[in-house]
Structures are given as C-alpha cells and as structure tokens.
Amino acid sequence: MRETLGLTGPKKGCDLGQCGACTVLVDGRRITSCLTFALMHGGREVTTIEGLGGDPEGDLHPVQQAFVDHDAFQCGFCTPGQIMSAVALLAEGHAGDDDEIREWMSGNLCRCAAYPNIVAAITAAAGR
C-alpha cells in the first residue's frame, strides 16, 4: 500500500501486529496490515485513513474531527491507526464507557501517551 499505491497513512511500526500503527479496515473490520498480504483481500473493500474523509467539500470524518477537537494526538505517528481503530470500535458498538473504549483500543499504542485525549475524542464521536 505504501510504496505501490502511495497510501502512507498506515505506518510501519513494529512489523509484529502489536502497535496498531498500520491499522486499516477491510470490509469495515480492523486489521493490522503488517500481518497480511494485500492479495489475501482481493475483491474486498480496504479503507485507509486517506479514504476516511472523502467528501467533496473536504470535511473530516466525525472521528477525525473529534481527534482534532480533543487534541488526541501529539507526534501523529500512531494517529492514523488510532483513528481507524476508533471508527471500527464505534461501528462495533464498543463505546459504552471509558473502560470499554480503553479495552477495545488496547491494541493501539501511543508513544506520546495521549490516551486520555484519545478516549475523550472517541467519547465525543460516540455522542456521549
């Protein structure tokens, strides 16, 4: 994705599927792209951070906007993976409370420790 298609949003973090920086959605489900071959997902819808906003006016996806509004990033390296996981988490209905959000986001690491703001952004995007 990064070299051939120029989709540099998913980051190469650990190459072990442990940091979540490479998270993308395949048919709406989150996966760590470092542990899968693109050929395994032929004919399926793969969404990266680049495809999330996507409206002609350039408006951000509600989760992206919540991350901006709640300052839920610092260096930005993990942000694409965090946002993709948050989108999936909300679609899966796992935003009942802060503890549930933390549990379902536990596969995404943030070196800058922006976790409180990430949880606040997801809570806002969930409408709580």
Placement of tokens 């190459």 in the chain: 15
Q: What is the pTM of this model?
A: 0.92
The domain ranges of the chain are 23-125
CATH 3.70.10.10 fits 23-125, yes or no: no
Segment 100-109, tens digit of pLDDT: 999 999 999 9
Segment 36-73, tens digit of pLDDT: 887 888 899 999 999 997 677 778 999 999 999 999 99
What pLDDT is attached to residue 40?
Answer: 85
Alpha-carbon gap, residue 88 to 105, rounded angstroms: 10
